[in-house]
Structure 1
């Protein structure tokens, strides 16, 4: 196989940064390009990188308001920058794409030193700290929401709405109908706290389910992700309330569970919302108040405004309030089906294709035209993917 361009993706070591980076890596490889990933030790452990890609671990210097972090953080950033520059000498990238997180910053700094074009992708509705630092020098800012806070007006001409890439299994759910829900049928609820779980869901959700009217409660089938420290306590609560529940610290088949779910209860992380809106599933979301810049509160606004979700601030997230919101959605005829449809209207299932188009446009065509993908180009890409699939390339 011949490779047309080389790209370096740089992402902090959390699922929220790594999942869209992995999705882009796969798409670029399918388009015939070579890809390398820069991350930290945490990111290296998160599965999902294409076999054809390289992974490089760089120091992730972090500078906070605490003066004690300044010297060590600066040293780590400079060391990471030197290591990235060494990689660029041999790999010769056409562009560097940053996905936020501290490991991305040295990679972007090194790109500036080498005059290599750069793009940042922002998954949240508030521009993250590293992306804010890089905004002045990058060629383009790709966003997941129409309105993103903390982007200065002078940088708006760089902004391109592409969405937040998700796994192919989630995109496939968009073509499936909302699961049938009769008045007497099983009501499947999926509870997930994101990659790290959420103890408050473990303490509130089981008691809320017990408060539901008996004719709704007896139909429940719960699947809940829990922290390891919480799981036995949650199991005991559901058993006490005689509510069937499947509990796990990790759900490897989450897309399949999402496909079965009639309602999702969870945090308002960028990846969670991207999956909900891509698949078209209604939700009750509890933004994490400690998230940087309170970005989860802003993440949920578009989905709530559309009618696809309800949001409960953590300060008001009680069993009584959750039970009340669930009844409003579950007992009104057609409410959940309508919410699912409204959620899907917020989805951007072509996010990975649009982001890859933007990346490919660097240095080859005006950025302003990058979202206007011609039908012939899409057909060419589809043909290439089919050929690769026949050759056994996944």
Structure 2
């Protein structure tokens, strides 16, 4: 742990997948006495969960898509964002800039490499994202969340550090709690989510899949499901027709407590979702988003499925029959479910935030004023002096 306060800039796209680990790192760095600023877009500045002490700076973030007609506008926005980032660096004097992917991270990291400020990128997924691929050869270190990361050039291997994907403190606090008791005649609590906006395919398939379970298991179901607003009434009617008790909502603020009580998770395979499932140790049926860039959600499932902590179903095969089959395989026997929970737990990286903080602390030096302040000492006569 550093004894000198330093300044760090975190840069992340405006989604929870990019910002949740950024928030976790900010919290850890602030605990160590450092000062942290965030660069993001307007959506990211409004995302719930941001530490109250974390100052946000909204910068332009242009996209370079497939249509060349849009390139001039995107390039202009990136250049303006880079200029704004450089002005921030002049006043804030960061010891390092840490990027978490997404287009809003690009101007800040590009500015850092141009200004010779040490830089680190963190990749949450098992496939290196587009912005991080562009920056990989320019940055000083690459922090990864998985042992195997696709689209990461082997020539960058000497600056790769496996740290895991930091999760929220309220979720990490559940790691040392035992898996909820599950017996032959006890409730089977199922948690279903599809990310921040829910997923219509889950609403269409899960109720009917649960209804196909054997009566001995179906009669013990207790479901919590996040739905899109436009789906929730139809899902409620479907569960009622199957006589399956279900609590539905478009958003659950207390997701950590619901995860704590769950025996089985059904949902997408985003990086933050898998990081939380493995931090806590919860078995899962994972349905990767088919349109995810570079199919990264499917790659995210590889490690936890190989070790037996989850099962993956491609969306084109995600039917009520297939879901019921996979749930029976993992949950019919209490011992099998507990074994899967332990396998998921073994895939977790509970020290991810601390390890990432250790990595970024290894770069750069504190701002001049902080050096002067920390060098002050008190003489034996009680007079302040500067060393």
The bucket for the TM-score relative to the shorter chain is: over 0.9
**Counterpart in 1 of 2:291?**
290
Residues 184 and 333, structure 2, Cα contact 8 Å, conserved in 1: no
Question: Which structure ranks higher in relative contact order (CA pairs < 8 Å, sequence separation ≥ 6)?
Answer: 2
1:296 CA displacement: 0.5
- 2-side partners of 1:82 and 1:69: how far apart? 21
In the superposition, the TM-score normalised over structure 2's length comes to 0.92
- The alpha carbon displacement at 1:32 in A equals 0.3
Match for residue 86 of structure 1?
A: 87
For 1:313 and 1:211, the matched residues in 2 are separated by 19
1:240 and 1:170 mapped to 2: Cα distance? Answer: 34
SS at match of 2:173: helix
The CA deviation string for residues 302-355 of structure 1, in whole angstroms up to 9 with x for no partner, is 000000000001110000000011111111341100000000110000000000
Q: CA deviation at 1:3?
A: 6.4
How far residue 48 of structure 1 moved from its aligned partner, in angstroms, is 2.1
Alpha-carbon distance between aligned partners in 2 of 1:239 and 1:32, rounded to the nearest angstrom: 53
Pair 1:3–1:39, CA change in 2 (3 A): farther
Verify the 8 A CA contact 1:40 1:60 in the aligned structure 2. Answer: yes
Supply the distance in 2 between the matched residues of 1:49 and 1:333 (Cα, whole angstroms): 38
Equivalent residues, number: 363
Q: Could you tell me which residue of structure 1 aligns to residue 235 of structure 2?
A: 234
Secondary structure of 1:334's aligned partner: helix
Native 8 Å contact 1:3 1:34 kept in 2: no
- Aligned residue for 1:173? 174
Deviation (angstroms), 1:213: 1.2
Aligned match of 1:336: 337
Q: Matches of 1:359 and 1:233 in 2, distance apart?
A: 48
- Cα shift at 1:53: 2.0
Matches within 5 A, 1:1-394: 4-363=5-364
Q: For structure 2, which runs of at least 5 residues remain unmatched after alignment?
A: 366-387
**Does the Cα contact within 8 Å between 2:183 and 2:334 map onto a contact in 1?**
no
SS of 2:152's equivalent?
Answer: coil
CA distance in 1, matches of 2:286, 2:126: 15
Gaps of at least 5 residues in structure 1 are 365-394
**Corresponding residue of 1:372:** none
- Looking at structure 2, the residues matched to 249 and 327 of structure 1 have their Cα atoms a distance apart, in angstroms, of 27
* Counterpart in the other structure of 1:374: none
Deviation at 1:173, TM superposition (A): 1.1
Q: Does 169-178 or 27-36 show the bigger shift?
A: 169-178
SS at match of 1:173: coil
Deviations 1:58-114 (CA, angstroms, capped at 9, x unpaired): 111000111122011001000100111111111110100000000000001111221
Q: Is the 8 A contact 1:58 1:80 kept in 2?
A: yes
1-structure distance, mates of 2:257, 2:322: 28
Task: Tell me, in whole angstroms, the C-alpha distance in 2 between the residues paired with 1:338 and 1:168.
Answer: 25
Q: Secondary structure at the match of 2:116?
A: coil
Describe the superposition over 1:346-368 as per-residue Cα deviations: whole angstroms up to 9, x where unpaired. 0000000000000101137xxxx
Contact 1:25 1:49 in 2 (8 A): no
Deviation at 1:172, TM superposition (A): 1.4
Q: Secondary structure at the match of 1:169?
A: helix
Name segments (4+ residues, structure 1) moved above 3 Å.
none
Give the distance between the partners of 1:51 and 1:187, measured in 2 at CA: 37
Q: Distance in 2 between matches of 1:120 and 1:42?
A: 21
CA shift, 1:49, in A, is 2.3
| 1:244-284 CA distance string (max 9 Å, x none) | 00001111111111110010001000000000000000000
- Within 2, Cα distance between the matches of 1:145 and 1:314? 23
